[in-house]
Structure 1
Amino acid sequence: MGWTEFILAMVAFLGSHMVPSRPGLRGALVARLGRAGYGAAFGLLSLVLLIWVIAAAGRAPFVPLWDQAIWMRWLANLAMPVALLLVALALGAANPLSFGGRASGFDPARPGVAGLVRHPLLWALLIWSGVHLVVNGDLAHVILFGLFAGFSALGMLAIDARNRRLWGAGAWAELSRGTSNLPFAGDWRGWRPEWWRIGLAIVVWAVLWHLHEPVIGVSPQP
């Protein structure tokens, strides 16, 4: 199907990720499925659509834009553990300022992972898409990872604007005072992440490293 399948997959993936930014629709789904059910269903849908869009990019017509260099592979291999660590630190942590976190237990004076960076999952997506954009120099993958990078960067601004509108400027300023959209610019000093999250990131990295070639068809080794 060439470009048609790729376009359909991109529209489906990006469209599905508009759900968390729509409080009415998200609330209706949570009410019907429960918070845990909604999280599991949305996570599974995102994974399926992500696999589809990556596979569709591989099946799209190959239009080379630049050649791959060895330093590009090293960049990806050094950046991916950072992205996975951000995911492990963020999922289910107290952070009402971004998606993937929970509202309960959040203390603006000790913002935890939100003090490291306000939107850790979006930063993980930005890192992942950015390094894969560099290492894949054909048109379909440049479009794919370029859209992911833009989606994650603009998503941070969109979520901040939505929260400021919903909570009011005063409440937003109070809750976000120890956080920043820039890594390490917030109040993260003294924060000690759970060791199990770091261990989880290492395990997931090892699994993805070994599955990358049989699933994606390309070895991540430099």
Structure 2
Amino acid sequence: MGWFEFSLAYVVFFLSHSLPVRPPLRPWFQARLGVSGFTLTYSALSLAVLAWLTVAAGRAPHVTLWDWAPWQVHVPLTVMGPVCLILALSIGRPNPLSFGGARNDRFDPARPGIVRWSRHPLLLALALWATAHVVPNGDLAHAILFGTFAAFALLGGRLIDRRKRREMGPEWQNLRMVIAGAPFLSWRASGETVARLGVGIVLYATLLWAHPVLFGVSPLP
């Protein structure tokens, strides 16, 4: 199917991400699935379409933009370690300044965790993942795929900031100032933080093992 499948997967990916979260569809889905059910379904759909889009990029006609070199493999291998740790420290944690935060009423700006490093850690993880994977994939389809995700992550942070500033009013800037005064590092890590770091390491190892099965390419040299 070549470029047609890649283009179709591209359109389906962005439609599946944008339409379900817009009114009136989101309230309609949440009323029938519940808030948790909607989140789980939306996440599963997103991952499934992302996997299809990645496979479709591999099936697209190969148009070389730059030559492959052995050193390029080490870029995603190195960057994906921090990406997995960022995901483990971010998912399901309070973060009223971005999307995907859970139990935001419990957020302590004096101990913001990873939010001290980035207001949008999930978007940071996406940008790092995409940028790192551009390097060893020097063909047109993968450059479009990963380049779009990197640009989306960078633009998404600005859009979320604009929306949150409008929704939260002066509280948005006040919260930012308190977070900015918190220490970058806390040497008294909680049990939950240690557990999440362990999950990040396991996630990294799992991705190394599952990458050939999911995407047909080994990430190892």
CA distance in 2, matches of 1:167, 1:20: 24
Q: How many residues align?
A: 217
Structure-1 residue corresponding to 2:211: 212
**1:186 to partner: Cα distance:** 6.9
- Pair 1:97-2:94 in alignment: no
**Equivalent runs, 1:164-203 vs 2, <5 Å:** 164-168=165-169, 170-179=170-179, 187-190=183-186, 192=189, 194-203=193-202
Tell me the distance in 1 between the aligned counterparts of 2:21 and 2:168: 14
- Counterpart CA distance in 2 for 1:20 and 1:133 is 29
Q: Assess if the C-alpha contact under 8 Å between 1:179 and 1:186 holds in 2.
A: yes
What secondary structure is seen at the aligned counterpart in 2 of 1:45?
Answer: helix
Per-residue Cα deviation, 1:57-80 (whole angstroms, up to 9, x for no partner): 011111111112222111110100
Within-5 A mapping of 1:57-96? 57-96=57-96
**Any residues of structure 2 matched to 1:119-138 within 5 Å, and which?**
119-138=120-139
Report the alpha carbon displacement of residue 212 of structure 1 after superposing the two structures with TM. 1.1
Kindly report the root-mean-square deviation, in angstroms, between the aligned alpha carbons of the 2 structures.
Answer: 2.1
TM-fit CA distance, 1:17? 2.5
> Partners of 2:173 and 2:21 in 1: how far apart?
20
> Aligned pair in 2 of structure 1 residues 20, 45: CA closer, same or farther (>3 Å)?
same
Shift in alpha-carbon separation, 1:173–1:27, aligned structure 2, 3 A: farther
- Tell me: CA distance 1:75–1:217, structure 2 relative to 1, closer, same or farther (3 Å): same
Task: Give the aligned residue type for 1:165.
Answer: R
SS of residue matched to 1:68: coil
1:75-131: CA deviation from partner (whole Å, max 9, x where unpaired): 110100111111111111011211221212112222222112111111111011001
| CA distance in 2: counterparts of 1:97 and 1:210, whole angstroms | 34
Q: Percent identity?
A: 47
* Ranges in structure 2 where 5+ consecutive residues have no aligned partner: none
Give the structure 2 partner of residue 30 of structure 1: 30
In structure 2, how many angstroms separate the alpha carbons of the residues matched to 1:177 and 1:23? 32
Partner letter of residue 188 of structure 1? F
Q: Which amino acid aligns with 1:149?
A: A
Query: For residue 142 of structure 1, what is the aligned residue in structure 2?
Result: 143
Q: Kindly provide the amino acid, as one letter, of the partner of residue 95 in structure 1.
A: N
Sort the Cα spacing of 1:156 and 1:187 in 2 relative to 1 into closer, same or farther, 3 A: farther
Query: Structure 1 length as normaliser, TM-score?
Result: 0.89
- Does the C-alpha gap of structure 1 residues 179 and 131 become closer, same or farther in structure 2, counting only changes over 3 Å? farther
Matched to 1:127, the amino acid is: L
Query: Map of 1:38-49 to 2, 5 A cutoff?
Result: 38-49=38-49
The answer (yes or no) to whether the contact 2:111–2:182 under 8 Å persists in 1 is: no
TM (norm. structure 2) is: 0.90
Partner-residue secondary structure (3-state), 1:65: coil
